[in-house]
């Protein structure tokens, strides 16, 4: 799925819905804008379905903590490295709210993070691996603005990364990513 719909972009750009001339271009820009947002923030903001990620039973474990390495907004199941499902009552998710960054075994738990043959990719965590199930409103707005900016860039002449000189000798500085997009994305940047 995409953070924004083609119809929303066309409405924002004041393109009539019946006009399908640029639908393929806009759809490509929607994908590019989403990839840019994900790269800038080092996050994914939408999880349409469960996915399973395999974690190392030694490198991703510190005592009672199993570190996910990526955002997860909902955990469906955790299967320990010995093939036994870890009951949700045996652990708590770390992070006050989604997205979560780790699962900590409760002090009273009789479970330990383990493996049978090899620690690599031993623990299977299934869930919604993203910041949220659907993108927050700020991300939707940033995607909309970014697609509109990219759409208008197609009319730029030459290398938009370098300054140009007009026929009258005036230096023209190319447009940069809109500041409001950067402002909207900054709170979502993942800290190292």
Q: Is the pLDDT of residue 91 over 80?
A: yes
Other CB atoms within 10 Å distance of the CB of residue 47: 21
Q: Is the pLDDT of residue 33 over 90?
A: yes
Average of per-residue pLDDT across 155-167: 59
3-class SS shares of the chain: helix, strand, coil, % to 5: 30, 25, 45
pLDDT of residue 142: 98
Average of per-residue pLDDT across 51-72: 97
Q: Is the pLDDT of residue 164 over 90?
A: no
Average of per-residue pLDDT across 36-51: 96
What residue spans define the domains of the chain? 6-45+134-188, 51-128
Cβ-Cβ contacts under 8 Å for 113 (sequence gap 6 or more): 57, 61, 64, 66, 80, 81, 105, 123
């Amino acid at each position: 799925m995409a953070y924004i719909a083609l119809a929303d972009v066309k409405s924002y750009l004041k393109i009539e819905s019946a006009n399908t001339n640029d639908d393929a271009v806009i759809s490509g820009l929607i994908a590019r804008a989403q990839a840019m947002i994900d790269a800038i923030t080092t996050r994914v903001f939408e999880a349409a379905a469960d996915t399973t990620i395999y974690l190392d039973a030694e490198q991703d474990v510190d005592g009672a903590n199993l570190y996910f390495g990526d955002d997860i907004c909902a955990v469906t199941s955790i299967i320990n490295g010995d093939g036994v499902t870890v009951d949700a009552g045996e652990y708590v998710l770390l992070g006050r709210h989604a997205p979560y960054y780790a699962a900590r075994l409760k002090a009273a738990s009789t479970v330990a993070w383990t493996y049978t043959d090899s620690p690599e990719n031993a623990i299977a965590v299934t869930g919604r691996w993203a910041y949220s199930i659907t993108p927050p409103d700020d991300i939707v707005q940033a995607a909309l603005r970014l697609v509109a900016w990219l759409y208008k860039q197609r009319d730029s002449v030459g290398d938009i990364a370098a300054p140009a000189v007009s026929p009258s000798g005036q230096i023209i500085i190319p447009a940069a990513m809109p500041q409001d997009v950067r402002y909207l994305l900054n709170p979502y940047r993942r800290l190292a």
